Structure 1
Amino acid sequence: MDIKKYVRTIPDYPKPGIMFRDVTTLMGHPQAFRRAVDELVQPFAGLKIDKVAGIEARGFILGGACAHQLSAGFVPLRKKGKLPYKAISQSYELEYGTDELEMHEDAIVAGERVLIVDDLIATGGTAEAGIKLLRKGGAIVEAAVFLVDLPELGGCKKIEDLGVPTTCLMRFDGH
């Protein structure tokens, strides 16, 4: 099954010149969604992964499914101000300004092995912040997995430069 054909491309969204890669169409197709989750977790079958961390928002959907498949706990990495309990945070650069990711301070026990999951990697800024946040909490970040890579933007290299192996199920040229 070619799961790439289930990703819808929306031209000029959110602004002219951007080709938005919409993975909700893949998630809406039962066999494609199952296949994608199976392929994301397959390299970690039999390894001890304690937690899966999903980046808001589509990373929650994928991360929850991956955590289930790996019999691991799930940790949501959220935008600032969305968590109800004491949180730790990590800022990151946006195209115009900065933002922050947060997780509950007790979401990770020091030494836990964590897989980070998101739908797409572009420049890698959000994933980098997630990795730094998890490490602040004492996690060992085993790998980062994504459905889609936009290789021209260099996000995978940025994550690998942090010493975190990355896996992407598909690549799309352009952004």
Structure 2
Amino acid sequence: MLAVVCKTLEDVKALEKYAKEGMIDKNAGLHGLGSSIGKLLDGSFHAISLENLKAYRGKFWVNDPQKRLDLLKPRLPDGKYPLGFLGFAVNMIDLDHNYLIYHTVKGHGLREILFYSMFARLQVYRSRVKMELAIPCISEGAISLDGVMIKANGLYLSLGQVNYMQ
């Protein structure tokens, strides 16, 4: 999924202008930029307004320059950590220093606003086999490095050609 990320809702609105008849003005906004460089936009695109996203409301890893979110590691009913758990997707993104210093008007960084909105507490596992063993402690979805996903409601996605890593 590709998306244009904007600071404000007004910035999102500026991406597309409409003629009086309600049709998209192909000479304005992002469509106008595309046509000026010979790359016509055809179809829809996603736009995200940072000011309208709900931010993570918790603590961060202590002394971590990446400002990773301090999320509780999942535990199985017996209290043990699931084998093959690699971490949370939101914390597995290494942000360039230039983006680490960016903050919204409300003071939120990209990890706690944009990436938390996208991934929340999505768990990452080494393999499908390890992920299946961890199902009792998967609450907001999981993904394995061999390409299998479990949605928060337990639905499996993307089954097919899978290489099982142990």
TM > 0.5? no
TM range (shorter): under 0.3
TM-score (normalizing by structure 1):
0.25
Question: Greater helix percent: which structure?
Answer: 1
Question: Greater strand percent: which structure?
Answer: 1
TM-score (normalizing by structure 2):
0.26
